[in-house]
Amino acid sequence: MPARSSRLALASLLTVALFFLFEYVARISPSLASTAMIADLGLSRAEFGLFSSLFFWVYAPMQIVVGLALDRWGARRFVLPAILSCSGGMMIVGAAPSALWADLGRLLTGFGASFAFVSALYVVNHWFAPQRFALLSGAVNAIGMLGTAMGAIWLTALIEAMGWRAVFTGTGIAGLAVLALAVVGLRDAPGAGDRVTHRSVRGSVLGPLAVILRDAQVWRVAIVGALGYMPVTVYGALWGNGELMADHALSAVRAETAVSMVFWGTAAGSVLWGAVSDRLGHRKWILAGGTLAAALAWSGVLFTAIGSVWAISALLFVAGLAGGVQMLSFAMAKEGQDRARAGTVTAFVNAIAIAAALIFQPLVGAILDATGGDYAAALAAVPICLALGALLTLTLREPDTPHFRAHRAARADRRAHRRAQRHARRNARHHAHRKG
Ligand SMILES: N[C@@H](Cc1c[nH]cn1)C(=O)NCC(=O)O
């Protein structure tokens, strides 16, 4: 890639990754200010729950719309207004005189945020070589996970010091800084959106979706991704603190620290397995092995009474690290598709995972209610889903892309070369022996 192009690629990736980080902070902020918001806006707990969940009710269905729009028209023209919507939404919540205004702000935040992750993967797909996709998409995911782990600490302290309204407004203003960066730094790659795709994708805008929905491999990969991601949303984002306090006798502060290890581990795993997979030219066996290892680590967390905060934190980190392999599902899904459908297929994989989170989070809650708070029984769903995910991975086809074929050919060459060397050495020894 020429120097100017590689600068544009890097600037575009950094910009959308920052947008993803910003939207992750926006997404988790209500959970950090629940008590203050409930008191200030006069909400019941149910009304507060609805306010917070409005984000996902618009975010999940928007995934497909975003994927289709990016494939058709490119990222830049959507990302700029999306950042504005996300920032504006946060500022409206910060200034909300009533619950209705807060709800409207939250809807706008979720709407804007729905463009971030898929746009980031879209930029990776169109600006970078295919053999970098798993590593760079893992890096994008890592940024979101780190945003959650660190944002929770910083925002909690800021909310205590300045109040929730100032923090929501300040986060919105930080979003405007991301917007300014995007105006300068985000460019559509040559070959992205309508410069090429629009001409090559004839017929209805929904065309790419129709192709994807008919592809059994895409469905299986999306389900594997959703099963691999559910521990993050179910344990990391919701029920983990309760489990650690009830079954491992940790204090609230220690439980919070230990749970954050899931996000640190997932961040590290997303990058590590992406790099390993791109390097080895394999996806399927790494995905199956990592998912199985995650099932074992989660079983250790859930079915033991480990009371040391260090030991349980280490185990949660390992569970996240192994589970970070779920990011390979995006690479596997898009590698079976034409480049012109990359946005739609990654959005579809993400939408299935978000939908699964919307099902599993209340399902675990319902099992907890039914069992009188038995966390091990309710959260057994986590290792079960992972084991099912590992099994389902075995039914997937290894992507057959030019760079994987080149990898396999190079490996076969190296093996043949080593065989020839061994043969030559044996012959030389044989001759020396006969002469002697
Ligand atoms: N890692 C993804 C979710 C996912 C989907 N399939 C496998 N993992 C993620 O973090 N998405 C961000 C989002 O919330 O959109």
Tens digits of per-residue pLDDT, 151-160? 888 888 899 8
pLDDT for the residue numbered 398: 87
Angle at 184 between CA 182 and CA 190, to 5 degrees: 85
pLDDT for the residue numbered 116: 97
123 φ, ψ (degrees, to nearest 5): -65, -45
* Mean pLDDT along residues 235-249: 92
* Mean pLDDT along residues 378-406: 90
Compute, in angstroms, the gap from residue 196 CA to the centroid of ligand 1: 27
pLDDT for the residue numbered 412: 75
Compute, in angstroms, the gap from residue 419 CA to the centroid of ligand 1: 44
pLDDT for the residue numbered 361: 86
Question: Which residue out of 137, 227, 327 has the highest number of ligand 1 atoms within 8 Å of its CB and is therefore the one to mutate?
Answer: 327
Q: In whole angstroms, what is the distance from residue 171 CA to residue 86 CA?
A: 10
Q: Specify the 3-state DSSP secondary structure of 349.
A: helix
The pTM for the full model equals: 0.87
229 lines ligand 1 (CB under 6 A): yes
353 lines ligand 1 (CB under 6 A): yes
* Mean pLDDT along residues 303-313: 95
67 lines ligand 1 (CB under 6 A): no
- Rounded (10°) angle between helices 3-32 and 34-41: 60
Q: In whole angstroms, what is the distance from residue 116 CA to residue 389 CA?
A: 26
393 lines ligand 1 (CB under 6 A): no
Using alpha carbons, list the distances in angstroms from residue 305 to 175, 232, 338, 365, 382.
Answer: 42, 21, 49, 21, 17
Residue 260 CB burial class (10 angstroms; 0-12, 13-18, ≥19): buried
Residue 274 CB burial class (10 angstroms; 0-12, 13-18, ≥19): buried
- Could you tell me if the ipTM is greater than 0.90? yes
Q: In whole angstroms, what is the distance from residue 224 CA to residue 234 CA?
A: 16
What are the tokens at 37? 């918001």
Mean pLDDT of all residues in the chain?
91
Compute, in angstroms, the gap from residue 158 CA to the centroid of ligand 1: 27
What are the tokens at 12? 């575009």
- Rounded (10°) angle between helices 309-323 and 284-302: 160
Question: Which residue out of 58, 229, 325, 361 has the highest number of ligand 1 atoms within 8 Å of its CB and is therefore the one to mutate?
Answer: 229
Q: What's the number of CA atoms in the CB half-sphere (13 Å) around residue 157? A: 4
* Contact (Cβ atoms closer than 8 angstroms) between residue 342 and residue 125: yes
Amino acid in position 321: L
3-400 — its CATH code? Answer: 1.20.1250.20
What are the tokens at 370? 């039914």
125 lines ligand 1 (CB under 6 A): no
Cα–chain-centroid distance for residue 134? 12
Q: In whole angstroms, what is the distance from residue 415 CA to residue 104 CA?
A: 62
Compute, in angstroms, the gap from residue 253 CA to the centroid of ligand 1: 27
Which atom in ligand 1 lies closest to the alpha carbon of residue 270? 1
Number of other residues whose CB lies within 10 A of the CB of residue 105: 23
pLDDT digits (tens, 9 = 90+) for 69-110: 999 999 999 999 999 999 999 999 999 999 999 999 999 999
* Mean pLDDT along residues 389-411: 83
* Mean pLDDT along residues 284-293: 97
| Cα torsion angle, 125, 174, 324, 385, sign | negative
The total number of residues shown for the chain amounts to 436
- Checking if the pLDDT of 201 tops 60, the result is no
Compute, in angstroms, the gap from residue 344 CA to the centroid of ligand 1: 14
> Where exactly are the structural domains of the chain?
3-400
Q: In whole angstroms, what is the distance from residue 1 CA to residue 293 CA?
A: 38
Compute, in angstroms, the gap from residue 226 CA to the centroid of ligand 1: 8
Give percent above pLDDT 90 in the chain: 68
pLDDT for the residue numbered 194: 53
19 lines ligand 1 (CB under 6 A): no
